[in-house]
Amino acid sequence: MSKYSRRSFVKTSGRMLGVASLGGLAFGCRQKQVPASAKWDGFKYAMCNECMAKLSWPEQCQIVANAGYKGIEIAAFTLVKEGVQEIDAAGRKEMASIMANAGIECVGLHWLLAPPPKGLHFTTPDAVIRQKTIAYFDELIDFCSDLGGPYMIFGSPKQRNTKDISIEQAKNYFAEGLAEVADHAQKRGVKILIEPLGKGATDVVNTLAEALQLTKKVNHPAVQIMFDFHNTTDETEPFDVLLRKYYKHIHHVHVQEKDGKHLGTGSAVNDYVKAFQTLKDLRYDKWISLEVFDFSPGGKKIAAESMRVLKQIEGKLA
């Protein structure tokens, strides 16, 4: 029986239908381009689910919806004991139904390779482990698509670090692995977004420039980049400059206080105004997703207080 958020809430009656039986089904909405002349209706906000991992899936979705978010971003490892294969076709359909009933969409997945399952690594020189990791990545693509998610955020710092090889060789393995899964992602309507991470987290791809360079090496429309306010420690330019410079390649944004805590615990309400103004001016119509790293306040408080700050920032925009 499938396991969700360390709890079981879907009775599968012993059926394990598998991913393949879903075919091309997608239970959520895809992104649409907004004409430049259209009236601006505000940003689309989502929330990542890790801070609610101890709650059931319906409870998580309700907290997100009640706080005013329109989407939920999923860390798959919070839902399973061994891997996403545990969640069969019926379970995935039930998850999608719960999201729809709450009035939210699946934004996609992040923390892609965090265990479980254990032992995955995308840039290891061990070819057997790389292939095992790529195989699981394909499973994640199916899981993401089956829930209607358009994006997979590739952060996973510990699963892309160098392991007794040079940074350049690790980047080569990174590109090779992405190239292997890109066609599958495109067929399932999913984009893989490389997340630059600071050197304190990983030694492989630390800036937007490096992330873009990697996408060019892969050279596939299903592989793009994203922007995270917290993970800009190795950038040398301000947020607004970075957003304008890389805008046409950015398909997703993560937001939180610069120290990784939820909005309202720091100075983001003032510090991020120029960046949000830039996103508005550029007609950004994709997701802005709340991802925090201190879960102690609890999901309900994190959701509500962060949304209040997001609305305060919007209120300061021209």
Count of other CB atoms within 10 angstroms of residue 177: 20
Count of CB atoms within 10 A of residue 248's CB?
Answer: 9
Task: State the alpha helices, DSSP H only, in 147-248.
Answer: 167-187, 208-218, 239-246
Other beta carbons within 10 Å of 122: 23
Quote the pLDDT of residue 39.
76
178 closest CA partner among 232, 143, 228, 140: 140
Beta strands (DSSP E) in 141-266 are: 151-154, 191-194, 223-228, 250-255
Q: How many domains does the chain have?
A: 1
Determine, yes or no, domain membership for 7: no
Mean pLDDT of the chain: 91
Q: For the residues 259-270, what does the mean pLDDT come to?
A: 98
Residue 36 φ then ψ, to 5°: -60, -25
pLDDT at 127: 98
Let me know: does 5 contact 79? Beta carbons within 8 Å: yes
173-225 confidence digits (pLDDT tens)? 999 999 999 999 999 999 999 999 999 999 999 999 999 999 999 999 999 99
- CA distance from start to end of the chain: 51
Is 19 within a domain?
no
Tokens, residue 307: 């949304």
Q: Which tokens hold the place of 232?
A: 């800009």
User: Would you say the C-alpha torsion 118, 120, 125, 128 has a positive or negative sign?
Assistant: positive
Q: Are 49 and 109 in contact (CB under 8 A)?
A: no
**When comparing pLDDT for 15 and 292, which is higher?**
292
Say if CB 87 and CB 95 are below 8 A apart.
yes
Does residue 16 form part of some domain?
A: no
Closest-CA residue to 43 (of 318, 245, 314, 316):
314
State the average pLDDT over residues 246-275. 98
pLDDT of residue 149 exceeding 50: yes
For residue 153, the domain's CATH number is 3.20.20.150
Q: Extract the tokens encoding 179.
A: 């190239």
- State the Cα–Cα distance between residues 19 and 130, nearest whole angstrom: 22
Note the pLDDT of residue 35: 52
**pLDDT, tens only, 59-116:** 999 999 999 999 999 999 999 999 999 999 999 999 999 999 999 999 999 999 999 9
Size (the chain), residues? 318
Asked if the structure places residue 159 within a domain, the reply is yes
Are the C-beta atoms of residues 103 and 145 closer than 8 Å to each other? Answer: no
Question: H/E element holding 155?
Answer: none
Check residue 308 and give its pLDDT: 98
Residue 159 pLDDT greater than 80, yes or no: yes
Range of the domain at 84: 41-315
Q: What is the pLDDT of residue 40?
A: 77
Asked if the structure places residue 36 within a domain, the reply is no
Query: Where does the pLDDT of residue 41 fall: very low under 50, low under 70, confident under 90, or very high at 90 and above?
Result: confident
Mean pLDDT on 40-67: 96
- Quick one: pLDDT band at residue 289, thresholds 50, 70, 90? very high
pLDDT score at 200: 96
> CB of 249 within 8 A of CB of 215?
yes
Q: Which among 80, 157, 49, 162 has a CA at the least distance from the CA of 113? A: 157
Q: Locate tokens 């709890």: which residue?
A: 7
Confirm whether 153 is domain-assigned: yes
What is d(CA 136, CA 122) in angstroms, rounded to the nearest whole number? Answer: 10
By CB atoms closer than 10 A (0-12, 13-18, 19+), residue 161 is middle
Number of C-beta neighbours around residue 42 at 10 A: 10
Q: How far is CA 87 from CA 11, 173, 222, 273, in A?
A: 11, 29, 25, 40
Residue 19 clears pLDDT 60, i.e. is over it: no
Decide if 201 is inside a domain: yes
Judge whether 1 lies within some domain: no
The answer to whether 197 and 227 have CB atoms below 8 angstroms apart is no
CA 91 to chain centre: 21
